[in-house]
């Protein structure tokens, strides 16, 4: 078995993609504060906030921001932090019991699960402003024309590259514009005895997550897993394995494993995310980042990770006005910039992205990637996505191990996804 993911890395993939047990045991840390002038806060009562950031304690900038947003709204904030998986289960149970928090910060693929269960209020009901958020990022929180929250930021995928290897192989990364030019670069890397590219093709959501840029970059759609475009994407990965451009270890590699292999210094490219940027900057070799190319050129759409700030349904809708103030405070540009920097996220609005690009030029390719990204549950997939994803990662494993051709593996995947409903 490979090492398990840290809680911060697990957020990338979404707690909504695992079985939800209402009886699941949970662990949490709770914090309350009468921030600001205690009399006005006490007069407004206490508002509860649940988030998936147990790594932030009461002295962190995040918790201080929660306190400040509560104070600005004239209330006391009581914050409880859960592990991502526990948070989803806890909220489903709380909704059944009528004790949901006032504000819930939850991983974006979970939105469809909670909305379908009737747990979340829409932004129309709560008057939360989403006008500044980029539509492609907002799409992860939309179902049947309704929006159920505001993205706090996003992370996604791109290609890191080792400048030493690229130079030795005689590759000009500026010429990598599509699949054929990338594959040609991998061939040059192999010719000097180095590994071309690592990615994570493991039989879990990580495998689907990493495959989706190539899948979408070919023009494929998750409702039609056996299309010719989907076959082209899976054939690309399969050809890299057969040609020795990618190691067989990708079949079992998680994203942290993938990064460890790249960080060792013998691999030219690694498909990985914003969350590895700090590690890359501390690494032993110079690196660069390029967008994942689409089949025929341009940047491929990449899947988004990151949380949404939502307002659960309350028996007293009069609470929504204060919750709306807290949500807008948490997501306004200055506060979102600080939070996204802490979480290694790219902002969900142009204002935050512009400030990030000016402050940290190394984020430029990530900003581009986020601007062209899409939610995994977008296209109105909602709760169908986990079933589709499982069928897809199973097909990836079948094709890369050689137990089925890409076409046959994807035909089986499409049948499985349809039969699962």
pLDDT, tens only, 346-357: 999 999 999 999
**Could you give the CA distance from residue 85 to residue 20 in angstroms, rounded to a whole number?**
8
Looking at the structure, do residues 44 and 98 belong to the same domain, yes or no? yes
* Confidence bin at 10 (pLDDT 50/70/90): very low
| 148 in any annotated domain | yes
**Residue 20 has what pLDDT?**
34
Q: E strands within 185-230?
A: 195-198
What confidence tens digit (pLDDT) does each residue in 351-377 have? 999 999 999 998 998 999 999 899 898
| 1 in any annotated domain | no
Looking at the structure, do residues 365 and 230 belong to the same domain, yes or no? no
Looking at the structure, do residues 309 and 412 belong to the same domain, yes or no? no
* Confidence bin at 34 (pLDDT 50/70/90): very low
| 376 in any annotated domain | no
Number of helices (H) and strands (E) in the chain: give both, helices first.
19, 12
CATH code of the domain covering residue 250: 3.40.190.10
Number of domains the chain contains:
2
For range 216-222, the mean pLDDT: 97
Instruction: List C-alpha distances in Å: 195 to 93, 154, 283, 302, 358.
Output: 48, 30, 18, 24, 34
| 146 in any annotated domain | yes
Looking at the structure, do residues 409 and 346 belong to the same domain, yes or no? no
C-beta contacts of 409-415 below 8 A and 24+ residues apart: 409/234, 410/225, 410/226, 410/230, 410/231, 410/234, 411/226, 413/225, 413/226, 414/224, 414/225, 414/226
**Could you give the CA distance from residue 282 to residue 216 in angstroms, rounded to a whole number?**
32
Looking at the structure, do residues 161 and 191 belong to the same domain, yes or no? yes
**Could you give the CA distance from residue 148 to residue 122 in angstroms, rounded to a whole number?**
5
What confidence tens digit (pLDDT) does each residue in 158-205 have? 999 999 999 999 999 999 999 999 999 999 999 999 999 999 999 998
Looking at the structure, do residues 242 and 205 belong to the same domain, yes or no? yes
Looking at the structure, do residues 23 and 47 belong to the same domain, yes or no? yes
Looking at the structure, do residues 135 and 202 belong to the same domain, yes or no? no
**Could you give the CA distance from residue 103 to residue 312 in angstroms, rounded to a whole number?**
7
| 131 in any annotated domain | yes
Q: In DSSP terms, which residues pair with 349 in a beta bridge? A: 133
Q: Determine what percent of the chain is predicted with pLDDT higher than 70.
A: 89
| 96 in any annotated domain | yes
**Residue 5 has what pLDDT?**
38
What confidence tens digit (pLDDT) does each residue in 223-281 have? 999 999 999 999 999 999 999 999 999 999 999 999 999 999 999 999 999 889 989 99
Instruction: List C-alpha distances in Å: 419 to 140, 205, 392.
Output: 24, 19, 14
Helix axes 228-243, 406-419, angle to 10 degrees: 130
**Could you give the CA distance from residue 358 to residue 345 in angstroms, rounded to a whole number?**
15
| 103 in any annotated domain | yes
Mean pLDDT of the chain: 89
Looking at the structure, do residues 134 and 166 belong to the same domain, yes or no? no
Degrees to nearest 5, angle at CA 187 with 186 and 190: 85
Which structural domain range is residue 118 located in? 7-155+305-371
- Find where tokens 């201080």 sit: 64
* Residue 26, pLDDT above cutoff 70: no
* Residue 290, pLDDT above cutoff 50: yes
- Spell 33-51 as b/e; 16+ CB within 10 A means b: bbbbeeeebeeeeebbbbb
Looking at the structure, do residues 359 and 388 belong to the same domain, yes or no? no
Task: For residue 34, give the 3-state DSSP assignment.
Answer: coil
Other C-beta atoms lying within 10 Å of the C-beta of residue 239: 15
**Could you give the CA distance from residue 382 to residue 237 in angstroms, rounded to a whole number?**
27
Looking at the structure, do residues 279 and 323 belong to the same domain, yes or no? no
| 2 in any annotated domain | no
Looking at the structure, do residues 41 and 79 belong to the same domain, yes or no? yes
Q: In DSSP terms, which residues pair with 273 in a beta bridge? A: 157
């Amino acid at each position: 078995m490979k090492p398990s993911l840290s809680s911060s890395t697990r957020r990338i993939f979404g707690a909504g993609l695992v079985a939800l047990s209402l009886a699941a045991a949970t662990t949490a840390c709770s914090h309350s504060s009468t921030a600001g002038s205690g009399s006005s806060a006490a007069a407004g009562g206490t508002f509860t906030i649940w988030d998936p950031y147990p790594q932030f304690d009461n002295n962190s900038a995040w918790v201080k921001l929660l306190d400040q947003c509560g104070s600005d709204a004239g209330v006391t904030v009581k914050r409880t932090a859960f592990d991502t998986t526990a948070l989803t289960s806890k909220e489903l149970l709380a909704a059944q019991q009528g004790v949901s928090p006032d504000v819930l910060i939850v991983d974006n693929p979970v939105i469809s699960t909670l909305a379908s269960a009737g747990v979340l209020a829409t932004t129309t009901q709560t008057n939360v402003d989403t006008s500044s958020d980029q539509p492609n990022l907002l799409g992860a929180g939309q179902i049947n024309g309704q929006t159920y929250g505001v993205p706090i930021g996003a992370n996604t995928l791109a290609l890191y590259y080792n400048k030493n290897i690229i130079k030795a192989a005689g590759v000009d990364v500026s010429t990598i514009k599509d699949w054929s030019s990338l594959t040609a670069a991998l061939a040059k890397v192999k010719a000097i005895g180095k590994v071309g590219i690592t990615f994570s093709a493991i039989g879990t959501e990580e495998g689907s997550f990493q495959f989706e840029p190539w899948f979408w970059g070919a023009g494929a759609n998750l409702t039609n897993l056996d299309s010719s475009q989907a076959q082209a994407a899976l054939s690309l990965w399969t050809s890299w394995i057969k040609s020795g451009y990618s190691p067989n270890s990708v079949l079992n590699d998680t994203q942290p494993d993938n990064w460890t292999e790249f960080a060792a210094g013998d691999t030219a490219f690694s498909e990985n995310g914003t969350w590895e940027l700090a590690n890359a900057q501390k690494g032993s070799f110079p690196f660069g980042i390029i967008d994942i190319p689409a089949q025929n050129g341009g940047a491929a759409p990449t899947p988004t990770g990151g949380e949404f700030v939502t307002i659960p349904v309350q028996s007293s809708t009069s609470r929504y006005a204060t919750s709306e103030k807290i949500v807008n405070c948490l997501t306004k540009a200055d506060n979102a910039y600080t939070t996204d920097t802490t979480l290694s996220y790219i902002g969900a609005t142009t204002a935050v992205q512009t400030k990030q690009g000016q402050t940290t030029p190394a984020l430029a390719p990530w900003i581009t990637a986020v601007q062209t990204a899409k939610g995994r549950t977008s296209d109105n997939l909602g709760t169908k996505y986990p079933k589709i994803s499982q069928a897809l990662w199973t097909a990836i494993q079948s094709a890369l191990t050689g137990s089925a051709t890409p076409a046959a593996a994807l035909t089986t995947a499409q049948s499985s996804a349809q039969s699962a409903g």
